[in-house]
Amino acid sequence: MKRVAVIGVGLTKFGELWDASFSQLFVEAGTRAINDAGIDGTDVDALYVGNMSGGRFIDQEHISCLIADYAGLTPIPATRVEAACASGGLAIRQGVMAILSGMHEVVVVGGVEKMTDLSTERTTQTLATASDSEWEAFMGMTFPGLYAMMARRHMHEYGTTREQLAMVAVKNHENALHNPYAQFHVRITVEQVLGSPLVADPLRLLDCSPITDGAACVVLASEERAKEFTDSPVFITGSGQASSSIALHSRESITFVDATYNAGQEAYARAGRSPAEVQVAEVHDAFTIGEILAIEGLGLVERGEGGRATEEGETAIGGRIPVNTSGGLKAKGHPVGATGVAQVVEVVLQLRGEAGKRQVDADVGLAHNVGGSGGTAVVHILER
């Protein structure tokens, strides 16, 4: 496909942010991205915003114009994009398609979520609306519960060990130590993961991504317009999106996320790349098993080998294919609507050589965002 340039990126700190409102978070990330791009508001043709559930988290719908208004971007078209935890990745894809269609030349894409104003119980219920409400949530199923079943089955089919799951969390917490925007700056051990409170057997507290407030933003431009603003853009060279059954019980396999596979195949084909050429990846580790399923579905490791590859350090910084250098959803945090955009921000920082102590050597990167337990997946390939 034709390339689309990422000319600016911006993040807020991720965490429990009591002193910032939903729109303030977006404006902070957006201002950073616009300043980074060296443009001003009058250059922006359109705004896309990933957000899962403003209505339930903060009693606010109609967030597209809310954000355009607070960001001073009216009257440009502003569009909200929703696909549960894949809302941010999908918003990026909408921005890419808007530019490739020729409709727009410079587009701001952001993602935002404010989750910590609710109790954990109500947050869990809100997140569970991204499952099949009739067959899963109404029966008491939660996201930790769904991923626990995937983990248990993966352990049964492939011999993945409880310790290997823990090693995903240990690695991602280690990476987050070097990410100033991350929610957690705490080194953890396998023993601590195994000793943390049980959430949904076999997953424990330290296997789970946290509940997070935060926003992320990128500025996209056509290749022609990008030259006006920067000599060193990062390009989105491939985009893929796929859907699958929303309910886990309808899938042929619960140890292979077919939407991840299909979105990855589309993104690789559009970029003219293979999994072997990817040198850094941000993947959807909402739970530790999620990272293992992601790297297998994306072909970064063989099917069933995710646990072993993690244990052998292949996915660590300095390993064969560093995964979640930002700390991932696990330790950087997971403000659901912002996550897919924040993943692209991290890959851009890596490709620009601006990732500080977590820097890896990469020309080709990948971002992978999942909605629900795999009903939606979005994959982007980025290159410098």
Residues of this chain that interact with ligand COA (CB under 6 A) are: 85, 120, 124, 127, 143-144, 184, 199, 205-206, 208-211, 286, 334
Instruction: Kindly state the tokens that stand for 373.
Output: 């337990």
Looking at beta carbons only, is 307 or 372 nearer to ligand COA?
372
Min. distance of Cβ 124 from ligand COA in angstroms?
A: 6
Looking at beta carbons only, is 8 or 290 nearer to ligand COA?
290
Looking at beta carbons only, is 350 or 369 nearer to ligand COA?
369
Of 104, 334, 368, 380, catalytic: 334
Min. distance of Cβ 149 from ligand COA in angstroms?
A: 13
Q: Active-site residue 85, yes or no?
A: yes
Q: Where are the alpha helices (DSSP H) in the chain?
A: 22-37, 54-58, 63-70, 87-100, 120-128, 143-158, 162-176, 190-195, 223-229, 258-271, 288-297, 306-311, 328-332, 336-352
Which residue, judged by CB position, is nearest to ligand COA in the bound state?
A: 120
Min. distance of Cβ 334 from ligand COA in angstroms?
A: 6
Strands 78-81 and 280-282: unpaired
Looking at beta carbons only, is 3 or 204 nearer to ligand COA?
204
DSSP string, 312-348: TTTTSTTSSS-B-TT-HHHHH---HHHHHHHHHHHHH
Q: Kindly tell me the burial class for residue 352, based on how many C-beta atoms sit within 10 Å of its own C-beta (0-12, 13-18, 19 or more).
A: middle
Min. distance of Cβ 199 from ligand COA in angstroms?
A: 5
Cβ contacts of 129-133, under 8 Å, gap ≥ 24: 129/53, 129/56, 130/52, 130/84, 130/85, 130/371, 130/372, 130/375, 131/246, 131/247, 131/248, 131/372, 131/373, 132/246, 132/247
Of 85, 173, 217, 380, catalytic: 85
Min. distance of Cβ 74 from ligand COA in angstroms?
A: 32
Q: Active-site residue 284, yes or no?
A: no
Q: Are 221 and 106 in contact (CB under 8 A)?
A: yes
Looking at beta carbons only, is 200 or 366 nearer to ligand COA?
200
- Give catalytic residue positions: 85, 334
